[in-house]
Structure 1
């Protein structure tokens, strides 16, 4: 095994200054996200969601973002899953987008709210049929006997609902309403650029952080 302490990389691909970024962090996010898409990165919409449960225990996992607006960052899940229960009991989260090919990452921190039933319905019915059946078939985060159980559940729900499965009552969206965003650009000599936005009295304050 390679000595992990010897793994190093020099970051040379870009720079970021507080004079060049947009005044609104959502606008800046969209610029970077568009650039990640144009660079044809694998799943640039993948983000890590970190949560803390009612007992103060943290957990993190990768999910796919489905919408970004001035209201926040939206993703969907089973509300009865580990992350769903954590976000319901402690409605705060941190998000991380990591695009190593561009030597960039974006961190987001904020409060969490459930989407309305209508918003969750609208997205659910836009999903492929097998994904809608899967939302019924998987008791997410629960211990199961094996994959055969999932296949059996999927077959039963496919037979029950045919081509029009309704949205499960335990499945829907969360919105992370940002209060802090940080844009990180790798730079040589580990003197990375870190531009942070902090929401204060309804206005975004832009400041530089030491790397």
Structure 2
């Protein structure tokens, strides 16, 4: 299928250097809040790119659960393929594709495990069904049928039918500590606005990139 004529002209929303905050995390918060206010579906959905020890890349979508000056945090099974990749090669990339706003945010950085206390705090805030789901799935492993998953779910429900559900030892969070963050704003005639923050000591250097 030829998609060469499948195109959309971007608006002239523009992004200017004087409008950017000195902190990329503050700038990200501004853009994120705008995405939320516009009603974008799952604005916290982000593509996570990892690579194994041989440099073979893999991309999938995960959900950002919170962010702060330290970076971007998501949660997963520590025995999953993404976690194994991170153990072999902690350099990762994130992409927030806010297409409706004609925006992208691209993060490059290092993924590191959050503390058990931090994982527990988030785990206890999850709905009970989600807590049970964390116990059920041996994420990324091969299974023969969905029926086995549902059978295991029933067993886990029975096991934890009374009291609180404990944090699985194999489940927790990763924080992506950014080394660079790019803010991309689509423009007419493919003259996009791109600004790259690069970590420099305790601060950030900001450069405009050619589209």
TM-score between the two structures when normalised by the length of structure 2:
0.97
After TM superposition, list the pairs within 5 Å mapping 1:104-119 onto structure 2: 104-119=103-118
Which string of whole-angstrom CA distances, capped at 9 and with x for unpartnered residues, describes residues 10-36 of structure 1? 000511011110000000000000000
Q: Distance in 1 between matches of 2:114 and 2:8?
A: 41
Q: Secondary structure at the match of 2:164?
A: coil
What do you get for the CA RMSD once the two structures are aligned?
0.9
Matches within 5 A, 1:61-100: 61-100=60-99
Structure-1 separation of matches of 2:40 and 2:129: 26
- Where 1:142 maps in the other structure, the secondary structure is coil
The aligned counterpart of 1:206 is: 206
Q: Does 1:101 align with 2:100?
A: yes
Runs of 4+ in 1 over 6 A off after TM superposition: none
Question: What residue in structure 2 maps to residue 27 of structure 1?
Answer: 26
Q: For 2:134 and 2:12, how far apart are their aligned partners in 1?
A: 41
CA distance in 1, matches of 2:55, 2:196: 26
Cα distance in 2 between the residues matched to 1:134 and 1:23: 40
Q: Is the partner of 2:18 in helix, strand or coil?
A: coil
Aligned residues: 210
Gap runs ≥5 in structure 2: none
For 1:134 and 1:66, the matched residues in 2 are separated by 17
How far apart, in 1, do the equivalents of 2:188 and 2:66 lie?
33
TM-score (norm 1): 0.97
Kindly indicate whether the alpha-carbon contact (under 8 Å) linking 2:96 and 2:104 is maintained by their aligned counterparts in 1.
yes
State whether residues 12 and 188 of structure 2, in contact with CA within 8 Å, keep that contact through their aligned partners in structure 1. Answer: no
